[in-house]
A and B are shown apart, each in its own frame.
Chain A
Amino acid sequence: MIFASSYSPILYLGPVPVYDHTVAQWLVMIVLGVTAFLATRNMQAVPRGLQNAWEAIVQLCYDFFGGVLDEHAAKKWTPILATFFLFILTSNYIGLFPGSATIHGFVPPTADWNTNACLALIVFFTVQISGFVAHGSHYLGHFISPHPAFLPLAIIEELVRPLSLTLRLFGNIFGHEMIVSFLVLMAPFLVPMPLVALGVLTGLIQALVFTILATSYVAAATGEGH
C-alpha cells in the first residue's frame, strides 16, 4: 500500500538506486515468470491444472488481439501486448495482498507514474516500429495525410498518446491506493473492504484499457489506412 512505500531508494546496486517500486516489479516478474515456467515445463497434449489455465490466458490474449489486429500483425505483436496486460494486471494486484499496508515496498508499481511513463514509452516505440515493419517508409506518410499542414497535429497526437496512457493508469491506481490508505488509517477494520474489492475490478479494467488502447494504436499503425 502506498503509505508503506517510500520514494527514496531502499538499496543501491553499485551506483544505481533501487526503489520499492522496482522491487515490486521484480516480484511481479517472479510471479509471472515462475507461473509461466511451471505451466509449460511439462506440457501435455491434454492440458490440466496450471497448464490449462495458462493456455487459456495465452489463447484469450491471442484471440482478443487477433480480433483487433490483422492475423499477421496479431501473431507478431501479441506477445508484447499480452506482456503489457499481464505485467500491469499483476502490478495492480500487488497492493491488494493482505499485509501489503505494513510491508515496506509492497506497493503497486503502476501507482508510480515513472513506471507507467516507461510502459507508455514502450508502447509509443512499439507503435512506431510496428508501423515501419508493416509499411516501411510509407508509414511516415500518415503524418502528412491528408495535408502536410497536419504534421504538427499528427506529431502532437502521437506524443499525447503515451501521456494519456501514463496519466490514466497512474491516476486510477494511485488514486485508489490513496483512498484505501486513508481509509485504512481512519477506520482499518472492514471499512476499506468495499474499496479493496473495487480495486480488483479497477486493476483489471485499467490493465484492459491500457492494453486495448495500445492494441488500437498498433492496429492503426499496421492497418491498411496508411
Chain B
Amino acid sequence: MPVGRNKRLVVSVLLLSMVLVLGLATSCFGSEEGVPPFPDYYKIGWTAVNFFILFAILYKFGYTPVLNMMEQRTTTIESSLRHAEELRAEVEQMRREAQNNLSESRKEAQDIVARATKIAEESKNEIIAKAQADARLEKEKALAEIQAEKEQALTELRDTAASLAIMAAEKVLGRALTDADHQGMVKEFVKEAGDLLC
C-alpha cells in the first residue's frame, strides 16, 4: 500500500473518531448555545439550494461575461497585432516605393537637366553660327556696296578729269582740238590720272 494512502487512512480514522466524539458530545451537550444539531436535513437542503442558485447566478453574471470579455480582448489584441503587422509591412512597402520613386525622380531630374543643358548648348551654337553667318553676309554686302561706290566714284572722277583736261588743253593750245587730238589726250590723261588715283 502506498505511504500516502496509509497516511490518509490514519487521518481518516482519526477524523472519524473525532466525528464520533463530537457527535457524542453534541448529543450529550447539544442545546441552543452549544454545537448545532447534526444532521439537520432542512439546513442541508437549504444550503444545497442556495449554493446552486448562487452558482447559477455567478455562472451567468460572474464568470461567463468575464470569460467572454477576456476572449474578446484576446481576439482584439490578436487582430490589433495582426493589423499592426500588416500596417508595418505596408509602411515598409510604401517606404521602399517612395525610395524608388525618389531615386527615379532624381535620375529623371538629372536627365532633364542634362537634356536642357544639351539643348541650350545646341541653341547657343546655332545662335552663334547664325550670328556669324549674318555678320559675314553683312560684311560681304558692305564690301560689295563699297566696291560699287568706288567704281561709280572712279567713273565720275574720270569723266570730270577728262572734261577738265580738255578745257585746260584748249586753253593752252588756243584752238580747238580735233577729235583725234581729243581722243589721244584724253586717253593719256585718264591713264595717268587713273594711275595716280589708284
Which A residues are closer than 8 A to B by beta carbons?
A: 3, 6-9, 16-19, 21-22, 25-26, 28-29, 32-33, 36-37, 39-41, 43, 45, 47, 54-55, 58-59, 78-80, 82-83, 86-87, 109, 111-115, 117-119, 121-122, 150, 153, 156-157, 160, 163-164, 167, 174
Contacts and interface: CB of A to CB of B under 8 A. Distances in A.
B29 interface: no
13 contacts: A7-B32, A21-B36, A33-B54, A36-B57, A40-B69, A43-B65, A43-B66, A118-B44, A121-B44, A157-B9, A157-B12, A163-B19, A164-B12
A157 B2 CA distance: 13
Nearest to B36: A112
Given A54-B62, A167-B15, 11 more contacts: A6-B32, A9-B42, A21-B43, A26-B50, A36-B62, A37-B57, A45-B72, A82-B58, A83-B54, A112-B36, A163-B19
Contacts of B11: 160, 164
B12 A33 contact: no
Contact of B51 (A41, A59, A118): A118
Contacts of A122: 48, 51
Given A36-B61, A79-B59, A164-B11, A29 B66 contact: no
Contacts of A25: 46-47, 50-51
Contact of B43 (A19, A26, A39): A19
B42 A115 contact: no
A54 B69 CA distance: 12
A32 B58 contact: yes
A86 B12 CA distance: 27
A174 B33 CA distance: 12
Contacts of A83: 51, 54-55, 58-59
Contact of B38 (A78, A79, A109, A117): A117
Interface in B63-120: 63, 65-67, 69-70, 72-73, 76
B50 A29 contact: yes
Interface residues of B, number: 45
Contacts of A16: 42
B175 interface: no
Nearest to A149: B1
Interface of B: 1, 5, 8-9, 11-12, 15-16, 18-19, 22, 32-33, 35-40, 42-48, 50-51, 53-55, 57-59, 61-63, 65-67, 69-70, 72-73, 76
Query: Lowest 10 CB-CB distances: which A-B pairs, in order?
Result: A36-B62, A160-B12, A114-B43, A118-B47, A40-B65, A22-B46, A33-B57, A25-B50, A58-B66, A118-B44
A6 B73 CA distance: 49
A164 B15 contact: yes
Given A18-B46, A40-B65, A167 B19 contact: yes
Given A8-B32, A79-B59, A163-B15, A115 B47 contact: yes
B51 A87 contact: yes
B58 A114 contact: no
Nearest to B52: A122
B45 to A, nearest CB: 8
Contacts of B58: 32-33, 36, 79, 82-83, 86
Nearest to B30: A7
Nearest to B33: A3
A207 to B, nearest CB: 14
Contacts of A59: 66, 70
Contacts of B72: 45
Contact of A45 (B19, B22, B57, B76): B76
A29 B57 contact: yes
A160 B16 contact: yes
A164 B63 CA distance: 29
Contacts of B69: 40, 43, 45, 47, 55
Contacts of B35: 113, 174
